[in-house]
Amino acid sequence: MTIAVTAVSGQLGGAIARNLIKTYPQETLIGLARTPANAKGLGTEIGIEIRPGDYGKPEQLHASLEGVDTLLLVSGMDAPDLRIGQHRNVIEAAKSAGVQKIVYTSIQGVEEGTAFSAVVQSNRQTEADVRACGLDYAIGRNGIYIEPDVEYIESYKARGEIANSAGNGKCGYTTRAELAHAYACLLTSDTFNGQTFNLYGPQITQTQLAAYLNGAFGTTLTYREMTPEDFIADRTAELGDFIGPIIGGIYEGIRRGIYDAPSDFAAVAGRPHQSWEDYFQSLSS
Ligand SMILES: NC(=O)c1ccc[n+]([C@@H]2O[C@H](COP(=O)([O-])OP(=O)(O)OC[C@H]3O[C@@H](n4cnc5c(N)ncnc54)[C@H](OP(=O)(O)O)[C@@H]3O)[C@@H](O)[C@H]2O)c1
């Protein structure tokens, strides 16, 4: 079986390829990249072929998927309306090139009424397109990456607090490394075909997140709740008109409890998700 991973130059695609190579022969793993130069280092590191894979280029995608049996489609980054068509390009190219199974990295999130909902809806549409495409499939709905909170530590330190609109909502966070393990399982086992899985670890509040960060980095961060409107304005001022409201909408989803749904991680991965105690301890050691 030959497996291809799209967006392999990115952090999630790269982590999935690195995970697969541990148990899978390198000659049967192919990385697709919109910008192959960005994946050159990974290709050399783990010894896999890198082929061009721009979601906006159907003919290129078809050529690059020749000989591929199973495809991991990483959700794109463009505006929601553009993403749907780009993902359809990948699905159509997979069908015409003879791919037999697609695994899609979707997201957890509120489907209506937040500034993130258009992104969630675009992922739901791609889920529907994958289910209807006639190939075998499996879909993961990823929780929120925890790494950005860790990377943001200097900004949190400068502010002395974590301030957002999540309130007391619990969030099913995850890491790209843990997702990579779960996606390797979805790709290499047919047990999960035809199903959709919530993929994240133990749910925690922002107050618990602050405590974990304090334990790892020796900080004294506290948590302060903001209104959804104030937090969107705060993020838009720092991150701009596209990403700012999206981040605000994600935290409104946490506030509403959407990320506090049961996780299927252990059922897919064959083991529990890494505990947050272990994860944050690994950062401080
Ligand atoms: N769960 C979460 O908390 C969360 C947070 C952020 C994003 N996401 C989603 O998760 C996905 C993967 O995350 P990540 O951490 O791997 O992001 P990342 O490190 O920023 O990588 C994004 C990847 O997408 C590729 N890409 C973008 N547009 C493309 C296109 N039109 N055709 C083909 N490839 C394209 C990029 O290729 P280049 O090298 O050419 O730029 C890059 O490889 C994101 O795309 C997003 O949908 C989830």
Cα–chain center distance at 257: 19
Ligand 1 binding pocket includes 217 (Cβ within 6 Å): no
State the CB neighbour count (10 A cutoff) for residue 26: 14
Tokens of 202: 């133990």
Q: Is 241 exposed, middle or buried (0-12, 13-18, 19+ CB in 10 A)?
A: exposed
Ligand 1 binding pocket includes 93 (Cβ within 6 Å): no
Task: State the Cα–Cα distance between residues 285 and 67, nearest whole angstrom.
Answer: 44
pLDDT in tens, the chain (285 residues): 999 999 999 999 999 999 999 998 878 999 999 999 999 999 999 999 999 999 999 999 999 999 999 999 999 999 999 999 999 999 999 999 999 999 999 999 999 999 999 999 999 999 999 999 999 999 999 999 999 999 999 999 999 999 999 999 999 999 999 999 999 999 999 999 999 999 999 999 999 999 999 999 999 999 999 999 999 999 999 999 999 999 999 999 999 999 999 999 999 999 999 999 999 999 986
Residue 123 CA: nearest ligand 1 atom is 47
Element (H, E) at 173: strand 171-174
Task: State the Cα–Cα distance between residues 197 and 234, nearest whole angstrom.
Answer: 33
Ligand 1 binding pocket includes 75 (Cβ within 6 Å): yes
Task: State the Cα–Cα distance between residues 214 and 172, nearest whole angstrom.
Answer: 19
User: Ligand 1 pocket test: which of 34, 42, 243 has the largest number of ligand atoms within 8 Å of its C-beta?
Assistant: 34
Where along the chain do its domains lie?
A: 2-141+175-199+262-273
Ligand 1 binding pocket includes 7 (Cβ within 6 Å): yes
For the entire predicted model, the pTM comes to 0.97
Contact 63/96 with Cβ under 8 angstroms? no
Distance between start and end Cα atoms, the chain:
39
Task: State the Cα–Cα distance between residues 31 and 108, nearest whole angstrom.
Answer: 25
Question: How many Å lie between the centroid of ligand 1 and the Cα of residue 71?
Answer: 16
Return all residues near 34 (Cβ < 8 A) that are at least 6 apart: 7, 9, 52, 53, 54, 55
Per CATH, the homologous superfamily of domain 2-141+175-199+262-273 is: NAD(P)-binding Rossmann-like Domain (3.40.50.720)
Task: State the Cα–Cα distance between residues 7 and 42, nearest whole angstrom.
Answer: 12
Task: State the Cα–Cα distance between residues 202 and 173, nearest whole angstrom.
Answer: 7
Cα–chain center distance at 159: 28
Side chain identity at 239, as an amino acid letter? L
Contact 110/117 with Cβ under 8 angstroms? yes
**Residue nearest ligand 1's atom 22 by CA:** 10
Question: How many Å lie between the centroid of ligand 1 and the Cα of residue 9?
Answer: 9
* 48-82 pLDDT per residue, tens: 999 999 999 999 999 999 999 999 999 999 999 99
